[in-house]
C-alpha cells in the first residue's frame, strides 16, 4: 500500500521549494501533478507543475469521475487525478499531493491513513513580503491570497504535522524526516542510529508538540488557537 502524503500551505509559504527539494532527495516518492483551469505563470510548463486545461476539459473529467478530489481555489478549479495514485501503487511508490485545505479534507475522508502536513509561514509580515516579492500577481490577487491564507491557517489543527518554514534548509530536513519516519514506523522496523533521529525530528513536528510554536504565528494573523488545541 502506498502512503499518501498531503502537503498544504497558504501560497507564499515556500511550499513549492520544499516539495521540489523533497522530491529530489527522497526515493520512491511520486508527485501528483494536479489539473487546473488557472492559466500558467511565466515559468510554468504544462505537464510539469500542472496539467493546464480548459473549464470544459475539467468538467468532462469530473463527469467521468477521474478525480480523487477537486476544489475551487481563487476562482479556478484544481483537481487530483485518480490515476496518479493507481500508478504510484503499481510502481510500489508513495504519493505526494500538494493540495489546498478543501482537497485535504476530501482525501482524509477517502484515505484516513493519509499523512497530512501543514506548512506555516513564520508570520503574517513574512508571508506578505514573500507574496509581493514574487511579482507574479496583481494587488487584488495578493490581497485575496492573504485573506485566503488567514482562512487556511485556521485549519492547521486538522493536520497531523505542522512545519514552520522559517529557515529553508531546516524545513527541508524536517519535511524529509517526517516522510521517512512515517515510512519507517509503518514498516514496523525498529529505528536505529540516524533513523531514530529522524523519528524524533518528525515527532517534534506532530500537531500536539507544535501548539506552542503555532500560537505567535496565529496571533500575527489575528487568529486564536483553535478550541481544544
Buried b (16+ CB within 10 A) or exposed e, 4-14: bbbbbbbbbbb
Q: Does 96 bind ligand 5GP (CB under 6 A)?
A: no
Q: Does 38 bind ligand 5GP (CB under 6 A)?
A: yes
Dihedral angle, C-alpha 109, 111, 113, 116, nearest 10 °: -70
Q: Which of 6, 37, 98, 153 binds ligand 5GP (CB under 6 A)?
A: 98
- Residues in CB range of 211: below 8 A, 6 or more apart: 225, 229
Structural contact between residues 2 and 95, judged by C-beta atoms closer than 8 angstroms: yes
- Residues contacting ligand 5GP: total by CB under 6 A: 14
Q: Does 71 bind ligand 5GP (CB under 6 A)?
A: yes
Minimum CB distance to ligand 5GP, residue 100 (Å): 4
Cβ-based nearer residue to ligand 5GP, 69 or 177? 69
Q: Does 78 bind ligand 5GP (CB under 6 A)?
A: yes
Minimum CB distance to ligand 5GP, residue 194 (Å): 31
- Edge-to-edge strands, sheet with 67-73: 50-52, 34-36, 76-81, 67-73
Buried b (16+ CB within 10 A) or exposed e, 99-124: bbbbbbbbbbeebeebbbbbbbbbbb
Minimum CB distance to ligand 5GP, residue 101 (Å): 8
Q: Does 11 bind ligand 5GP (CB under 6 A)?
A: yes
Cβ-based nearer residue to ligand 5GP, 39 or 228? 39
**Residues within the interface to ligand 5GP (CB under 6 A):** 11, 34, 38, 69, 71, 73, 78-80, 98-100, 102-103
Amino acid at each position: 500500500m502506498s502512503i499518501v502524503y498531503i502537503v498544504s500551505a497558504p501560497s507564499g509559504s515556500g511550499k513549492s521549494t520544499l516539495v521540489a527539494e523533497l522530491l529530489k532527495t527522497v526515493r520512491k516518492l511520486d508527485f501528483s501533478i494536479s489539473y487546473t483551469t488557472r492559466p500558467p505563470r511565466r515559468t510554468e510548463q504544462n505537464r510539469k507543475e500542472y496539467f493546464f486545461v480548459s473549464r470544459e476539459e475539467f468538467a468532462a473529467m469530473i463527469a467521468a469521475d477521474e478525480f480523487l478530489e477537486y476544489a475551487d481555489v481563487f476562482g479556478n478549479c484544481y483537481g487530483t487525478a485518480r490515476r496518479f495514485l493507481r500508478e504510484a501503487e503499481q510502481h510500489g511508490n508513495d504519493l505526494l499531493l500538494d493540495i489546498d485545505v478543501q482537497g485535504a479534507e476530501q482525501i482524509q475522508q477517502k484515505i484516513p491513513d493519509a499523512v497530512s502536513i501543514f506548512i506555516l509561514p513564520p508570520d503574517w509580515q513574512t508571508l506578505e513580503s514573500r507574496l509581493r516579492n514574487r511579482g507574479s500577481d496583481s494587488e487584488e490577487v495578493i490581497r485575496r491570497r492573504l485573506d485566503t491564507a488567514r482562512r487556511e491557517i485556521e485549519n492547521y489543527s486538522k493536520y497531523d504535522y505542522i512545519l514552520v518554514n522559517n529557515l529553508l534548509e531546516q524545513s527541508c530536513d524536517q519535511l524529509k524526516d517526517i516522510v521517512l519516519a512515517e515510512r519507517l514506523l509503518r514498516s514496523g522496523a525498529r529505528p536505529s542510529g540516524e533513523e531514530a533521529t529522524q523519528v524524533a525530528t518528525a515527532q517534534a513536528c506532530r500537531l500536539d508538540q507544535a501548539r506552542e510554536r503555532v500560537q505567535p504565528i496565529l496571533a500575527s494573523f489575528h487568529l486564536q488557537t483553535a478550541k481544544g488545541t
